[in-house]
């Protein structure tokens, strides 16, 4: 089941809300959320719901064992085993085919390449399990003694299949005691509607334009062969905007649903395209993933010692690989890692002295080229994209690119405009006076009604609206 679907919006969610809010006690509300979350996941994954529950049970048990045997070797052994099982689970379902394909490049090897279905959301709920177990081991959070409460943390449907990656410590108190205020409901439904509109009205149309320019990401060699320099940069810019509106739209929905149920998830996107450095971009883009790797991997000792640049290399290698079992994702991670290393060597003070105009040109060029790397999963097609981007393509013009540009010029301009913190400006405006607050509130209600109406109409004409990060 996906959020951008009328079945979810007009049947599943209303039923969940009715049962949730008629329950008088928090433990009853938790039971409703667990039940609906398991139904939500099983709707698309059937038996893999057992994998979700099993992985939660392993880490729940590991937390208890770590607390009981903290100072004993068996406590460390249980902790290590839980982390190995978590990583092994992710590797088996997500990377086994990739590993076999690359091993078969060795002369004489012919390992059967497994065709394993990757359960939706496995990257996200595995990382949440890992963060909980590590935090228990490091004594950064209290161990949860109730398995139903821990299962709620892992399985909660707003953030289950595509994040954000929620730390247990962020919502531990709210699992036991929370209430939904009027502001929570208002802000929550607003975020939900905005997220749906981002997906249905903007991301889906950008997707159509991207495919027209680049072809499908898994098989786009022919499309890459006909690219011009303008087509390469324009198409990659479309990809950047598409991914932003699709993934930030999902995050808006998840955060909004969390607010409705009384949970306060951290922001996952904070207007990343207004950045003036690549370091700042990654402080604003997919924040929950970046902070996960920073907190759990950056300072891991390498050969017995913490190594600043070695840690950065490891973080960005893993960031790329996390996104998919393909070498282009690894290159994409290392590409960003290289720029962040360079900026680290230059220093924050020197980077801030860079004129704003130059800083924006530099960051947008790096970001756009980076999304080209991200999109072209086949390395030969990626090579042709690079040739075109840097002017080495034999093509000087393309009627297809011109047509796509002219057909989507207003969509492209609107998408760029909507990456700016416009809503934040209106919120600041509402703080000036009671009259301004009332005017902004009324405008917000009208806009929300229009957005959900238009989105619902558009949903009638589409049969499938999967979010991009479902496959990661």
Q: Which pLDDT score is estimated for 219? A: 63
Q: Is residue 141 part of a domain?
A: yes
Same domain, 378 and 256: yes
Of the residues 132, 163, 178, the one at which a domain ends: 178
Give CA–CA dist 104/113, Å, rounded: 9
Largest distance between two CA atoms of the chain = 77
The count of structural domains within the chain is 2
Q: Which residues pair with 305 in a beta bridge?
A: 302
Whether 323 is catalytic: yes
252: which residues sit within 8 A by CB, 6+ positions away? Answer: 191, 192, 194, 195, 198
Residue 175 and residue 29: Cα distance in Å, rounded? 10
Answer with the one of 135, 154, 178 that is the final residue of a domain. Answer: 178
304: left (phi over 0), alpha (psi -120 to 50) or beta: left
Q: 139: left (phi > 0), else alpha (psi -120 to 50), else beta?
A: left
Q: Kindly state whether residues 164 and 134 are assigned to the same domain.
A: yes
Q: Which domain holds residue 443?
A: 183-276+354-471
Question: Does residue 330 lie in a domain region?
Answer: no
Question: What's the CA gap between 204 and 249, in Å, rounded?
Answer: 11
Q: Where are the alpha helices (DSSP H) in 114-179?
A: 122-137, 147-155, 168-176
Alpha-carbon gap, residue 267 to 248, rounded angstroms: 10
Backbone angles phi, psi at 160, to 5 degrees: -70, -45
pLDDT of residue 12: 94
Q: Tell me, yes or no, whether 174 and 193 share the same domain.
A: no
188 and 103 part of one domain = no
Co-location of 171 and 52 in the same domain: yes
**In contact, 47 and 59? CB cutoff 8 Å:** no
- In whole angstroms, what is the distance from residue 419 CA to residue 329 CA? 24
Domain assignment present for residue 318? The answer is: no
Task: Examine residue 122 and state whether it is found in any structural domain, yes or no.
Answer: yes
User: Of 202, 83, 167, nearest to 458 (Cα)?
Assistant: 202
8 Å CB contact between 454 and 198? no
Are residues 152 and 65 part of one domain?
yes
Q: Are residues 163 and 246 in the same domain?
A: no
Q: Are residues 233 and 126 in the same domain?
A: no
Whether 345 is covered by a domain: the verdict is no
Q: 265 and 189 share a domain?
A: yes
Question: Has residue 61 been placed in a domain?
Answer: yes
Instruction: Tell whether 372 and 407 lie within a shared domain.
Output: yes
Model pTM above 0.75: yes
Tokens of 328: 């282009």
**Cα(469)–Cα(472) distance, integer angstroms:** 5
- Supply the pLDDT for residue 418: 93
- Alpha-carbon distance of 98 to 94, in angstroms, equals 8
CA distances from 443 to 259, 423, 438 (A): 21, 11, 9
Inter-CA distances, 189 with 96, 245, 299, 436, 446, Å: 40, 18, 39, 21, 13
Compute the distance between CA of residue 303 and CA of residue 301 in angstroms, rounded to an integer.
6
Q: What is the pLDDT of residue 276?
A: 94
Note whether 152 and 205 are same-domain residues: no
In a domain, 317, yes or no: no
Same domain, 145 and 264: no
The catalytic position among 117, 264, 271, 323 is 323
pLDDT in tens, the chain (472 residues): 788 888 889 999 999 999 999 999 999 999 999 999 999 999 877 889 999 999 999 999 999 999 989 888 888 999 999 999 999 999 999 999 888 888 888 888 888 888 888 888 899 999 999 999 999 999 999 999 999 999 999 999 998 887 799 999 999 999 999 999 999 999 999 999 999 999 999 999 999 999 888 887 666 655 666 788 898 999 999 999 999 999 999 999 999 999 999 999 999 999 999 999 999 999 999 999 999 998 998 777 665 667 777 888 889 999 999 998 889 999 999 999 999 999 999 988 899 889 999 999 999 999 999 999 999 988 888 998 999 899 887 666 677 888 888 999 999 999 999 999 888 887 777 777 777 778 878 888 899 899 999 988 888 877 666 677 666 6
- CA gap 114, 208 in Å, rounded: 32
Q: Decide which of 128, 159, 178 is a domain's last residue.
A: 178
pLDDT of residue 120: 87
Residue 96 located in a structural domain: yes
């Amino acid at each position: 089941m996906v959020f951008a679907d009328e079945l979810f919006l007009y049947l599943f969610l209303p039923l969940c809300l009715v049962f949730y809010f008629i329950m008088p006690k928090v433990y009853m509300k938790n039971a409703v959320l667990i039940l609906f979350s398991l139904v939500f996941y099983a709707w698309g994954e059937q038996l893999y719901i057992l994998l979700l529950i099993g992985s939660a049970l392993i880490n729940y048990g590991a937390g208890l064992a770590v607390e009981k045997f903290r100072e004993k070797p068996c406590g460390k052994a249980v902790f290590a085993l839980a982390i190995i099982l978590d990583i092994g689970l992710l590797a088996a379902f997500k990377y086994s085919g990739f590993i076999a394909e690359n091993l078969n490049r060795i002369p004489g090897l012919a390992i059967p390449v497994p065709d394993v279905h990757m359960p939706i959301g496995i990257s996200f709920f595995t990382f949440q399990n890992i963060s909980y177990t590590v935090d228990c081991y490091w004594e950064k959070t209290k161990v949860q003694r109730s398995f139903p409460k821990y299962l709620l943390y892992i399985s909660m449907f707003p953030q289950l299949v595509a994040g954000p990656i929620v730390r247990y410590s962020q919502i531990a108190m709210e699992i036991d005691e929370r209430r939904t205020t009027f502001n929570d409901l208002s802000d929550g439904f607003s975020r939900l509607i905005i997220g749906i509109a981002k997906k249905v009205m903007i991301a889906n149309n950008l997707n159509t334009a991207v495919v027209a320019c680049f072809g499908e990401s898994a098989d786009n060699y022919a499309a890459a062969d006909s690219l011009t320099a303008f087509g390469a940069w324009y198409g990659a810019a479309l990809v950047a905007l598409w991914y932003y509106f699709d993934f930030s739209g999902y995050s808006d929905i998840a955060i909004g649903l969390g607010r409705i149920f009384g949970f306060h998830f951290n922001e996952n996107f904070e207007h990343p395209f207004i950045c003036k450095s690549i370091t700042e971009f990654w402080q604003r883009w997919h924040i929950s993933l970046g902070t996960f790797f920073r907190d759990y991997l950056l300072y891991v000792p390498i050969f017995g010692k913490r190594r600043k640049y070695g840690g950065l290399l490891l973080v960005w290698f893993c960031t790329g690989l996390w996104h998919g079992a393909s070498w282009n994702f690894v290159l994409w991670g290392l590409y960003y890692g290289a720029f962040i290393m360079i900026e680290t060597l230059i220093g924050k003070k020197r980077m801030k002295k860079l004129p704003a105009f130059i800083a924006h040109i530099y960051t947008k060029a790096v970001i756009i080229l980076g999304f080209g790397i991200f999109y072209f999963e086949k390395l030969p097609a990626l090579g042709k994209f690079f040739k075109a981007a840097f002017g080495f393509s034999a093509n000087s013009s393309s009627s297809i690119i011109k047509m796509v540009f002219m057909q989507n010029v207003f969509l492209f301009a609107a998408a760029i405009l909507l990456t700016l913190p416009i809503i934040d400006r209106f919120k600041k405006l509402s703080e000036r006076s009671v009259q301004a607050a009332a005017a902004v509130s009324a405008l917000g209600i009208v806009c929300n009604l229009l957005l959900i109406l238009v989105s619902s109409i558009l949903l009638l004409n589409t049969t499938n609206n999967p979010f991009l990060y479902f496959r990661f």
